[in-house]
Amino acid sequence: MAEFLAIHQSDASLLGCLLRRFAGRVSLGTAAAAGVGFFQSDDVLLRKRPLGGQPALPERLAEGVESEAALICSGVVGSSKAFHEQMTLPFRFKRWLFAIAGQPDGLTPVRAPLLATLADHLKRSVKGDSGAEVLFFSFLARLREAGRLDDHDVDAETAARSLAAAVGEAERAFEQMGQQLPPLALVATNGRVIAGLRRGHPLQIGVVDGLIPCARCEIGNGASDLDPRVKSHRTLRAAMLLSGATGTEGFRELAEREVIAIPRELDEVQSL
């Protein structure tokens, strides 16, 4: 089963500290492979590797990564369940990263009808045989229709509505076959905004205001503001979307069919 943890936070250098805080409390299950997508300046970087059925621990998968936005995933989609870099989550197209959790291979029946709706240049970019990848490109097609596919400053609400519209298209395709959409949770990010939604698979949102104490940097509650590290830890703000787990301390579980839009400023998480 695929799972993900999406993070946007205000200080790239503190990603490791944030993950350390949740070590032992957040896991992405066990998987054949896992991947990390993250942003540095104008670059979108991917790091994927086989796990061989070992636990997917975010703090280990993203060890050494410094970024204000990261998407940490477990799972391989498509017909091959062994490690395959292109089919290991997350997916990337231009500045967009995408992950899906739950039962993504249940999308196989609607792969062909969804693929048929894509513009030729998007269709040519589909590399694998999974319905999950085509659903990602359906999301990108919705952004293109809105004239925002290449807009780095697209707002979170537009991204979230595009993601929901792509899932709605898949739901209608299943209905025409007399079937139901499989349990899923989805997330997409361009490093500036996050869009996420729940369709039958658990999804939680967490917000962090301040990172004191910090075990990684050995900063305690009584640390002096004269320490230059203290201010950055004290002012850190983060938003996270975590699939799979329920009841994680400090996280709220999304309602079924809830759509979430997280803006770049992290000042207000919108539920659409």
| pLDDT tens digit sequence for 122-154 | 999 998 899 999 999 999 999 999 999 999 899
Residue ranges covered by each domain of the chain:
3-271
* Separation between Cα atoms, residue 73 and residue 48, nearest integer Å: 9
* pLDDT tens sequence across 205-261: 999 999 999 989 999 988 888 888 899 999 999 999 999 987 788 899 999 999 999
pLDDT of 116: 95
pLDDT of 99: 97
**pLDDT band, very low/low/confident/very high, at 80 (cuts 50, 70, 90):** confident
pLDDT of 46: 97
Spatial contact of 188 and 194, defined as CB atoms under 8 Å apart: yes
**pLDDT band, very low/low/confident/very high, at 67 (cuts 50, 70, 90):** very high
Residue 47: name the closest of 30, 28, 34 by CA.
Answer: 34
pLDDT of 207: 93
Q: What is the pTM of this model?
A: 0.94
Asked whether the predicted pLDDT for residue 52 surpasses 90, the reply is: no
Q: Where does residue 176 rank: exposed (0-12), middle (13-18), buried (19+ CB within 10 A)?
A: exposed
**pLDDT band, very low/low/confident/very high, at 270 (cuts 50, 70, 90):** confident
* Separation between Cα atoms, residue 186 and residue 74, nearest integer Å: 13
* pLDDT tens sequence across 171-218: 999 999 999 999 999 999 999 999 999 999 999 999 999 999 998 999
pLDDT of 272: 82
**pLDDT averaged over the chain?**
93
pLDDT of 195: 98
pLDDT of 268: 80
pLDDT of 37: 98
Instruction: Write the class of the CATH domain 3-271.
Output: alpha beta
Structure tokens at 228: 């230059």
Tokens 């942003």 found at? 39
Asked whether the predicted pLDDT for residue 271 surpasses 80, the reply is: yes
Asked whether the predicted pLDDT for residue 79 surpasses 90, the reply is: no
Give the residue with greater pLDDT, 53 vs 233. 233
Residue 258: name the closest of 173, 190, 197 by CA.
Answer: 197
State CA 115 to chain mean position distance. 22
Asked whether the predicted pLDDT for residue 25 surpasses 90, the reply is: no
